[in-house]
Amino acid sequence: MFENLSERLGGVFDRLTKQGALSEDDVKTALREVRVALLEADVSLPVARQFIKAVEKKATGAAVTKSITPGQQVVKIVHDELIATLTGEGEPGALKIDSPPAPILMVGLQGGGKTTTTAKLAKRLKERDGKKVLMASLDVNRPAAMEQLEILGKQIGVDTLPIIKGEDPVAIAKRAKTQASLGGYDVYMLDTAGRLSIDEELMAQVEAVRDVANPRETILVVDGLTGQDAVHTAQNFDDRIGISGVVLTRMDGDGRGGAALSMRAITGKPIKFVGLGEKMDALETFEPDRIAGRILGMGDIVALVEKA
Amino acid sequence: RLLGRNSAAPVVRRELDDDMLEQLEELLIASDMGVDTALRVTANIAEGRYGKKVSVQEIKELLAQEIARIMEPVARPLPLYPKTPQVVLVVGVNGSGKTTTIGKLASQFKAAGKHVVIAAGDTFRAAAVEQLQVWGDRAGVPVLTAPEGSDPASLAFDAMTRAQAEGADLLMIDTAGRLQNRQDLMEELAKIVRVIRKKDPDAPHNTLLVLDATTGQNAISQTETFQKLADVSGLVMTKLDGTAKGGVLVALADKFGLPIHAIGVGEQIDDLAPFDPEEFAAALTGLEA
Ligand SMILES: Nc1nc2c(ncn2[C@@H]2O[C@H](COP(=O)(O)OP(=O)(O)OP(=O)(O)O)[C@@H](O)[C@H]2O)c(=O)[nH]1
Ligand SMILES: Nc1nc2c(ncn2[C@@H]2O[C@H](COP(=O)(O)OP(=O)(O)OP(=O)(O)O)[C@@H](O)[C@H]2O)c(=O)[nH]1
Ligand SMILES: [Mg+2]
Ligand SMILES: [Mg+2]
């Protein structure tokens, strides 16, 4: 569907000749194509712009290794910079779940995959880390949202907080906290309703929930197919609620995953996991190099440059 | 900033040059229109105007007009046919808003005096059936269900039988979300269509692809594959009440020409609106109404 970067750069490669060091013109020519590739991969415009500027500085005047062309050299610098930006601090996939019961708050837009990811994470915590987990649905908006989490809990053998109809999200959060303490749980997870980042009422509501629970982790769940809107979502949720990490869902699709770069660049928070399907075990830790190649649409050239 | 809001400031005219064109392109790219389409749209309005003096307001109006012109032919409501039951199959990737949109549409048709039946064809996702049942209750429309894990094609077949027997005007069939690169799930969808056609060779009369406005360029691949495998006849775009502008619709109109039947503008039952090209274009270009 999309012309990948290697094809795009094919022509540029031919034009750029070996010169020993990258000239400003070489870099500019190649980066124009890189910019288009990033935008086609759904990297948010301000992020793409900022990224290109950073690369331009690094690339201009850089020495060209003998065995590769200047164009390939630029691509290598771009690729390295992408990985550097995508890589978060700390152990990938690690969650702060010391001092039990540790609350984890799940937030995001409608339909992004919060409920599914809540259950996937609970399953992982239970099976890999041997934790006793309680899940609670605070979603009083979407029809059958609570039942959805309850069914998933039964599937994975993780307890869910009993449903009491008519209770508001803050009250449910309080009940989850109490239940988690009394029941000897290591972790309790709060799945919230989907909300637009500009919905004042619902954003205030989730703030109130945060203040009650004092979460150890606040995870923003984002659809990996997200386009330019990623910048608003990242900015508004982080400003308002303060997130500690990101999970990108639907990375089993054929999207280019530019949202990963947008999320990292805007929030500076680690992408902890990627969702790779609807099944409860379709969750993996985030691997920057895989996403970098995918965003550029060019595993092949990277391999070539790596050999050089 | 050229494209900032400063309606109170005196009208400033500037020459339409490369710099200005680039800023316009970026405005469109930031709406998810995609690089190629954004370049084409700006090139169209630049034609014959390059080097002339224009104001921000004028240039935005021109852009909006151009986008509205592209979108006008695809702004068409869901067609109703005399043949009943008219079968509306609703498809799309996970979480795009299929089930909610069915609830909203059912409510509109019911209010228009139609006899509507809904089939809960998502037999996979946890509580998908319960979710649709709530929407059925809200709309005052019966929902036909099958147990979780059962074959959606056989549910569709049973629903056809029942809708025909009841003399329903409309049968709306919900389906599980599926990513278009999942061949097995796309084949499952093709099978649903084949089974429906056993009962009525002309059905489904409408196959609606529900797209999420926050989706970027992947919406193009979604439309292409769903059209190929499930014969999509029209689009609905949801979540346009958020910060996402849904600019990819312009690329889709250009490439596929599929009608856009409605847009989702919220989570409540009345939050479904006709697609209005002018309003859409104004929102996309940031033109004050
Ligand atoms: N293919 C795929 N589907 C996913 C993934 N994660 C979630 N889903 C699906 O996406 C849809 C929405 O997921 P939910 O978990 O209900 O999303 P949510 O954010 O809780 O939605 P709301 O509560 O309505 O805001 C469901 O069909 C899930 O099965 C993923 O990683 N890959
Ligand atoms: N803000 C907003 N939210 C919407 C709109 N349409 C649907 N939603 C929400 O998006 C989420 C997903 O909607 P669903 O109708 O469950 O989506 P679906 O396509 O049926 O999802 P799956 O069956 O899991 O694939 C829910 O939280 C809905 O309330 C809309 O137009 N605006
Ligand atoms: Mg949910
Ligand atoms: Mg559904």
Residues A72-107 pLDDT 10s: 788 889 999 999 999 988 888 899 999 899 999 999
Residue A2: pLDDT over 50: no
| Separation CA A74–CA A13 (nearest Å) | 10
Model confidence at B10: pLDDT above 80: no
pLDDT, tens digit (0-9, with 9 covering 90-100), for B126-185? 999 999 999 999 999 999 999 989 999 999 999 999 999 999 999 999 999 999 999 999
Tell me what pLDDT residue A302 has: 55
When CB atoms are compared, the residue of B29, B218, B241 closest to A196 is B241
**What pLDDT was estimated at residue A6?**
60
pLDDT above 70 for A7: no
Of residues A101, A189, A74, the one with CA closest to residue A139? A189
Q: What is the mean pLDDT of residues A47-67?
A: 87
DSSP classification of residue A130: -
Cα separation of B191 and A35, whole Å? 42
**Mean pLDDT over each residue of chain A, to the nearest integer:** 91
CB contacts of B29 in chain A (<8 Å) are 39, 45, 228
The answer to whether the CB atoms of B130 and A143 lie below 8 A apart is yes
SS3 B129: helix
DSSP label at residue A226 = B
Where does the pLDDT of residue A24 fall: very low under 50, low under 70, confident under 90, or very high at 90 and above? confident
Q: How far apart are CA A86 and CA A93, in angstroms?
A: 14
Is residue B1 pLDDT above 60, yes or no?
Answer: no
The model's confidence at residue A18, banded by pLDDT at 50, 70 and 90, is low
As given in the structure block, the two tokens for residue B212 are 């999420």
Q: Mean of the pLDDT values across residues A288-301?
A: 81
Q: What is the pLDDT of residues B52-65, one digit of tens each?
A: 999 988 999 999 99
Q: Is any Cβ of chain A less than 8 angstroms from the Cβ of B32?
A: yes
Determine, for residues A42 and B214 on separate chains, whether the beta-carbon distance falls below 8 Å: no
Strand, coil or helix: A242: coil
pLDDT, tens only, B80-124? 999 899 999 999 999 999 999 999 999 999 999 999 999 999 999
Which of B96, B214, B242 lies at the smallest CB-CB distance from A227? B214
With contact defined as beta carbons under 8 Å apart, do A145 and A99 qualify?
no
Residue A249's closest CA among A92, A159, A161, A117?
Answer: A117
Nearest to B262 by CA among B132, B76, B85, B116: B76
- pLDDT (0 to 100) of residue B3: 55
Q: How far apart (Å, rounded) are the C-alpha atoms in residues B58 and B39?
A: 19
Cβ < 5 A residues, ion ligand 4: B 98-99, 122
For residue A3, what pLDDT is reported? 52
Q: Which atom of ligand 2 is nearest to the CA of B176?
A: 23
% of chain A beyond a pLDDT of 90: 75
Percentage above 90 pLDDT, chain B: 92
Enter the ipTM: 0.95
Work out the end-to-end distance of chain A between its first and last CA atoms, rounded to an integer number of angstroms: 29
pLDDT tens digit sequence for A154-170: 999 999 999 999 999 99
Residue % of chain B over a pLDDT of 70 = 96
Q: Cβ contacts (< 8 Å) between A112 and chain B: which residues?
A: 95
- CB-CB neighbors (< 8 A) of B237 in chain A: none
Q: Do A113 and B94 touch (CB under 8 A)?
A: yes
Interface of B with A in 62-101 (CB under 8 A): 93-97
Q: Give φ, ψ of B117 to 5 degrees.
A: -125, 140
Q: What is the pLDDT of residues A225-277, one digit of tens each?
A: 999 999 999 999 999 999 999 999 999 999 999 999 999 999 999 999 999 99
Q: Which residue has the higher pLDDT, B3 or B51?
A: B51
> If pLDDT is split at 50, 70 and 90, which confidence band does A64 have?
confident
